[in-house]
Amino acid sequence: MARVYGTMQTALVTCREELEVFGKTKQIDNIITVDWHMPCSFEPFLYAICIGKTRTSYQIIKKSKCFVVNFIPFTLKDAAWFCGRHSGMHHDKFKEAKLTKIESHHLDCPKIKEAIGYIECNVINEIETGDHVIFVGEVTHQELKSDEKRLFHNGENMFMTTQ
């Protein structure tokens, strides 16, 4: 089916929580590629992400109540593709995508050192929307490190950036 909506900025959302994997409790630091994200309030400053209910990151964020939106440069398009195609239940996405894990300022949640900016959020609301859930997060910290060209998704495995 053809898309009516256009190109969207791609972000990598990071999260951390203990989950049961094959009968054993395991801490998972995960990354999910997200195109559906947006600011949704100035006061308080809120940011929303949309995650499929079948995703490992959905389970993690639902339990941990926090996430980090990592804004990434075009040069990380292969990492974004990898993180969007593999389950964090079975892959260490930081290691396999060759991304450096660092700690957040205010959350028990990793973030990606190579990102050009971050928004750290505590979940304050969840909205069911069919097969996805919108997690609304109150922003606890934001940082812009660089003005590199950002990654945009144009459908399937097509990525682009601005001129």
pLDDT digits (tens, 9 = 90+) for 89-145: 889 999 999 999 999 999 999 999 999 999 999 999 999 999 999 999 999 999 999
Reported as a single tens digit per residue, the pLDDT across 12-64 is 999 999 988 888 898 999 999 999 999 999 999 999 999 999 999 999 999 99
Q: What is the pLDDT of residues 62-87, one digit of tens each?
A: 999 999 999 999 999 999 999 999 99
Res 2: pLDDT: 54
Question: Cα separation of 112 and 21, whole Å?
Answer: 24
DSSP string of 106-144, one letter each residue? SSS-EEETT-SEEEEEEEEEEEEETTEEEEEEEEEEEEE
**Total residue length of the chain:** 163
> Mean pLDDT across the chain, nearest whole number?
92
Considering the domain delimited by 9-133, tell me its CATH architecture.
Roll (2.30)
Helices (H), 39-150: 56-64, 77-85, 93-96
- DSSP-derived 3-state class of residue 17: strand
Angstrom distance (rounded) from CA 69 to CA 59: 17
Check residue 47 and give its pLDDT. Answer: 98
Bridge partner list, 20: 25
pLDDT at 1: 44
Contact 37, 68 (CB under 8 A): no
pTM score over 0.75: yes
Say what the pLDDT of residue 5 is. Answer: 67
Question: Which helix or strand (DSSP H or E) is residue 112 part of?
Answer: strand 110-112
Give the span between the Cα atoms of 138 and 144, in whole angstroms: 17
pLDDT higher than 70, residue 3:
no
Name the token pair of 38.
């947006």
At 59, give phi and psi (nearest 5°): -60, -45
Contacts of 37 (CB under 8 A, 6+ apart): 9, 11, 13, 47, 48, 49, 50, 69
